[in-house]
Each structure stands twice: as C-alpha cells, then as structure tokens.
Chains A and B, each alone.
Chain A
C-alpha cells in the first residue's frame, strides 16, 4: 500500500479511531463519513474506541500472499467491539487458545511492510484480554 494511502488513515489505524453517528447512535470502525442508516440526515463525529471486544469468528491462515507469508500460521478474526461495531484483525496468541466469544483487547503492532526497502506499516491488532 502506498505511503499516502496508508498515511491518510494512520490515526484511525494507530489509535482505533472510528466514527459515531449521533443521529442514530451507531458506531463505525472502519470509519465511515456517511452513516449508511441516516445518509444525509446523519451527524457523524470522530470516536475513540475503548479497544475491547469479543471474537465473533476466526481462522488460522496457513497460506498467505507475499506480504504476510513470513507470519504464517497466524490468526485472523472478526471482532465485535464493545461499542457494537465489527472489524477484521489479527489476534496475537497461541492458535489453540482461540475460541468464539473470546474477550480481546487492542495492542499497537507492526502490520506489515511494502517490500524490503518500502515503508513499514503499524496499526492495531488484538490480544486475549
């Protein structure tokens, strides 16, 4: 991913900042600038998520693209944050530890890099809470 493309969302990725529609009281992470429920009637503001949630479903990736091949096997999960929105993230833990409903919390981690000389990307991953 190019530097500007990553940089644009850097604060969201680093700090788990999403959005909140105050019209319908729905939270969004990944952030949405348009509330899909209220559309133009929605009032969307930035929101700092607490960073705690539970595992909805997960898998263990054994075969990955170039960028992630060195990490295999790694855990990928859909996590429901306590505020109610869901996201996709890696969970850093022993593979055998994983179960649906597992409580998790956010940590700041290296996400990947763009080749050997490209930028290193950092952001949010999760660990067992």
Chain B
C-alpha cells in the first residue's frame, strides 16, 4: 500500500444557499480544491462523490456522471462514482479515494461531498433523513432523527447522570468555534440559558442541540505522498482511514449510548496509524446532536464512558483545552450538508495542520476526523498529520 497525502482542499460557504444549485455547489468546491493543489483538470484520474439523497432532495440520481460532466471531466471519460452511507457519505468518499490512491489504481483523485437540502420543506427533510435509520421497523413507528438521538440522550443521562447544562455546553462551545469560521452557517454566540430555553424537538433534545439543515459542498485532492511535493509545500499525510458498520436500527445495539462502529473504526484507525490517543492534537467529530459529540469523544477513547459531559463543561474540549473538539464549529454551528460533512471535516483538519485556520488556529501536528451515518450504523475515521 502506498502512502497518501492531501494536496488540495476546497469548501463552499455552508447555509441556506437559495441562489446555488446542487451542481453549482459541487463545482465551486471542486474548483477551489483543484486551484489549491495547482492542478490542471486533465491530471485528475478519478472522482468519488459523497451524497446522501440527491434523489429525494433534488430529484437527481446518477450524481457521479453529472458531476464529471459539469466539472468538464466527462470529455476525459474519467471514472466518477457516487457513494452513499447517509451522513457518512462524505467520509466514505474520502476513504474510497484514499483506497484508490493507496492501492496504486489511480494517482490524482478527488474526494468530494455535496448536499442541497433546502429545496424541499422541513417536513420532507425530516422524512428524507429518517431514511438513514431502518424505514420498515423504526421509521414506520414515527421516530425522527432527533427522536433517535433523544433516546440515546435519555439512556445516557439515566446511566451517567449527565446534566442538561453539560449537554448545552457542547452547543455553546461549538458556536464559540464557529464564530471564527468564515464558512459557518451559524457563526453566532449562544448561551447555556439560550440552549435550555430553545423549543423542544424531541425531549430532552431542544432546537439548539440540533445541527441545522444546510446546503454546501467540500472537495479535497489526494495523491501518492511521494508525488505530493510536485503540487504543494505543505502536504498533509493520511495516516489512517478506516470504516466500520453496526446494526442499522438503534434498538438492536447492545448498549444504546455506545456507538459500536465508532469504537471499531476508532480502534482500527489507531492500529493503522500506530498512534496513541495522546498523540492526537484535535478531533472533528460528528456532532449532529449535542449528545452525539459526547458519545464520540468517549467511544473514540479520549475519556471514559460518562465523563465527556464534565470534560466539556470544564473547557477541556475547547480550542485551548486538553483535546480540542470541533474547531470548525462542528455540524452544530458550521452546518451539516449531510453528504458534504465528512469531507468538510478533512478540510478543517488540513487547514489547522497547515496553519491556515485564522482566528480559530490551534497548535497541532496530528488531527482526527469521525463521521457517522444514521445513528451509528456506519462510521468513518481518519487520522491526518503534517508530512
């Protein structure tokens, strides 16, 4: 297997982007990444695009070909593949691109993710997202995504005595980070009281515990490490890229508030990279709801089960804490265009490792990403470091 590096990155603004179509978003992110790498389009061998539900959101399938066409790469007839694993689609696209380069099948590969969610209404969006769970045996009962994570939160609070304030502290911290991220959908300061008094969506989850509905796209370019210096002075090496599955339905997990796939993908990433938890300087985790960030920190092994709430409350996951989590603002403040999120996490880690993260810059040499599909039926983890 060859060593692989990220040589270019791009990401659109995240938000309600009424004037931008699905394909426009992708092209914008792709062009940024290609310019960043100083490539010509003709040098690209292959594209992987993460997308959860263009079929439902914009009535468009066959997304790989569409993207290749509008990128001007259909004339080169390069392979373009859409991959899907609900909200982990972006992470999966990155891992497929990594595998393609590492195996020697291709040299210059684009990993992208895009989602256009705002062209349908909120109730339709709720239904589309519910398809990430088991439609026939969870969805049919009327369970929503906030409802599933609310059941995780209730179980967790019952087992570990997590307080509502500790849960709110996750959202407050992520908004503090998003405040300094120019692409963030909600670069707004919020307070514990504000979270606690926001409307209930699915008890105990309130509106400000939830990531928003977002349009956006992100793209990164991968190549063999040995060629990286042809394109950039600051290549970022992919030290691990792993994936794991667990049961599709939340009710079939042995422990409701442990994401087995996070544990498995995390352990595999540490094994693959040969690194320890203490080697990781910061991590971008999948905080689709505040409770999800706490589970992620624990299931990745950064603290014991039941301790992440206290860790957050004490500021240890803030930018200058022991283990900074979601310097980008996370899904919560930066936004969550479901298929793009996994690639945006890579974008943030690369910015931080290059020292290009502006006001939210931290001192870091190694960063990790954690991208979840559904309630944890798919998890993708990546570890990246300065080459």
Contact = CB atoms under 8 A, between A and B. Distances in A.
Interface of A: 1, 5, 9, 13, 30, 56-69, 71, 74, 76-78, 86-90, 100, 111-112, 121, 123
> What band does the interface of chain B fall in when counting residues whose beta carbon is under 8 Å from A?
35 or more
Given A88-B137, A111-B142, A121-B140, 17 more contacts: A1-B140, A13-B140, A57-B152, A59-B205, A61-B202, A63-B201, A64-B144, A65-B124, A76-B151, A78-B256, A86-B251, A86-B252, A87-B251, A100-B154, A111-B140, A112-B142, A123-B140
Q: Which of A62, A87, A100 has the most CB of B within 10 A?
A: A62
A89 B200 contact: no
B305 to A, nearest CB: 16
A49 B141 CA distance: 18
B151 A57 contact: yes
B142 A71 contact: yes
Contact of B138 (A62, A64, A74, A88): A88
B162 to A, nearest CB: 13
A123 B141 CA distance: 9
Interface of B: 122-124, 126-127, 130, 134-138, 140-144, 146-147, 150-152, 154-155, 158, 199-205, 249-252, 256
Contact of B256 (A5, A57, A74, A111): A57
Contacts of B201: 62-63
Contacts of B204: 59
Contacts of B249: 30, 88
Nearest to A86: B251
Contact of B142 (A30, A57, A64, A87): A64
Nearest to B207: A63
A88 B186 CA distance: 33
16 contacts: A30-B134, A57-B154, A57-B158, A59-B146, A59-B154, A61-B147, A62-B201, A62-B203, A65-B127, A65-B130, A71-B142, A76-B143, A78-B151, A78-B256, A86-B251, A88-B249
